[in-house]
Structure 1
């Protein structure tokens, strides 16, 4: 993938890493998401909030083309990554997924050692020229995920031996080991206890120094704690029990929660629905 001239938000002097322009998402003939336009800014945390069924995770998975694997998926509109159309026929989805990593709702370490969990993507992508370089990448990734001190003496143990919170940090370390530009997180704390959740949130604050992060969360308090920007999505019922998602409002997080411009946003963040 070749980067072109970056988009800039000239008012706020923020570089746009990902831009969506009026995207519609279909599964078969059903339009699941309608008309979403927004910018994802470099080295910022952007939260997607909204009720179930509003398309948050569906949109997130478009950014690294995971929806391509779903039968009947189709996207209209444009998604640009550093100015390049992510859905151009010449763009390799595998390369997209290296540059735009993913952390899922439930920790999903590979059934391998802690070391091999981190090393796997590095080996597949040929990012280390020697064992010493691979060792360095593994250590650096685990340090970035604030996990090194806890696992440095048991790198040969199975990743499943770790606690839930440690497993999720292992998955984050695995995602950043291949040196992505963007990290997607789909409710990364949903299955974690409060202490592990706070550890992941602290980690997100540290990671945004080096990565652009997009997080889907149902936890509005989490959005206020970790996000610089927040997009609120809602859903409208159509026929046969189906609902389509749409973007209601996108702004800096403080404005979304303290001074929303849309009544639906006000109702959601104040807990009157959702």
Structure 2
């Protein structure tokens, strides 16, 4: 019997995974993961390197489709619709479930064009004024507008690392997503830039469902309301963050949090 690690919430579940297995060729990377994500709570995935947390994160918007030999079993739903059905529009799915990667990856375009690109190709705008408004709103939500409003025509790659990461978040927000996935978004950043990203996550909570992978347990404790601990491709424990860190149910969780391994 597969243990159900879903956490009950008063808010409707935004994304739900049931008995998810992921294979890379013959190698099984994820085994029997079940989890729910709602709009009200930031979810942090923690665990040692190679435990499967980033692999599982990528199943939530089918990024694993881009890896040769990758195969996903089980069910993952967005608003109750299975995202792995053959007729799912994957481009549209990735607009609804955006991804922010570990290393900032702005396009080699202007700051303005980085943010405008998605709304333009998805047909979300009716002219220049509409596009200008989306760019400004997205940059404001990403906490970047005041820093770049007078240099929108400069290259996005000329920004600092922390600014580039917030630009990538603005780019994800611009297509009006419902879920934002963040794969170690602060690992390449200095402490000041990290603090700005964490503050931004707090501000975005509730407007989007947010899932963050982090190696930094202090960060997980600061930014999330629910935490999932992965080990050797399995979801060992999922619960309220404060309880996971102070009174974990599983010995493996306690050992990891107290530094006995990982």
* Alignment partners' CA distance in 2, 1:120 and 1:186: 22
Quote the offset at 1:12 in angstroms. Answer: 3.7
* Alignment partners' CA distance in 2, 1:21 and 1:119: 35
What whole-Å deviation, never above 9, does each CA across 1:134-169 have from its counterpart, x for those lacking one? 000000000000100000000000011111100000
User: For residues 121-140 of structure 1, what are the structure 2 equivalents within 5 Å?
Assistant: 121-140=118-137
Indicate the residue corresponding to 2:211 in structure 1. Answer: 214
Quote the offset at 1:132 in angstroms. Answer: 0.1
Choose which of 13, 16, 38 in structure 2 pairs with 1:16: 13
How many residues in Structure 1 have an aligned counterpart in Structure 2? 257
* Alignment partners' CA distance in 1, 2:7 and 2:71: 32
The runs of 5 or more residues in structure 2 that have no matched partner are: 1-5
Q: Note if 1:96 corresponds to 2:93.
A: yes
Report if the CA contact (8 A) 2:9-2:38 is conserved.
Answer: no
Indicate the residue corresponding to 1:233 in structure 2. Answer: 230
* Alignment partners' CA distance in 2, 1:153 and 1:24: 48
Quote the offset at 1:92 in angstroms. Answer: 0.9
Indicate the residue corresponding to 1:241 in structure 2. Answer: none
What TM-score, normalized to structure 2? 0.96
Indicate the residue corresponding to 2:3 in structure 1. Answer: none
* Alignment partners' CA distance in 2, 1:104 and 1:223: 17
* Structural RMSD (CA): 1.1
Report if the CA contact (8 A) 2:43-2:226 is conserved.
Answer: yes
Q: Note if 1:168 corresponds to 2:156.
A: no
Q: Note if 1:271 corresponds to 2:225.
A: no
What whole-Å deviation, never above 9, does each CA across 1:189-239 have from its counterpart, x for those lacking one? 00000000000000000011311100000000000000010000001xxxx
Q: 4+ residue runs of structure 1 moved beyond 4 angstroms?
A: none
Q: 1:267 to 1:10 in 2, by over 3 A?
A: closer
Choose which of 102, 105, 110 in structure 2 pairs with 1:105: 102
Indicate the residue corresponding to 1:250 in structure 2. Answer: 238
* Alignment partners' CA distance in 2, 1:13 and 1:72: 39
Indicate the residue corresponding to 1:4 in structure 2. Answer: none
Quote the offset at 1:271 in angstroms. Answer: 1.2
SS in 1 for 2:171: helix
* Alignment partners' CA distance in 2, 1:106 and 1:10: 30
SS in 2 for 1:14: coil
Quote the offset at 1:105 in angstroms. Answer: 0.3
With 91-100 and 35-44 compared, the bigger mean Cα shift is at 35-44
Quote the offset at 1:246 in angstroms. Answer: 0.5
What TM-score, normalized to structure 1? 0.92
With 37-46 and 212-221 compared, the bigger mean Cα shift is at 37-46
The runs of 5 or more residues in structure 1 that have no matched partner are: 1-8, 236-244
* Alignment partners' CA distance in 2, 1:227 and 1:160: 29
Q: 1:148 to 1:259 in 2, by over 3 A?
A: same
Quote the offset at 1:76 in angstroms. Answer: 1.0
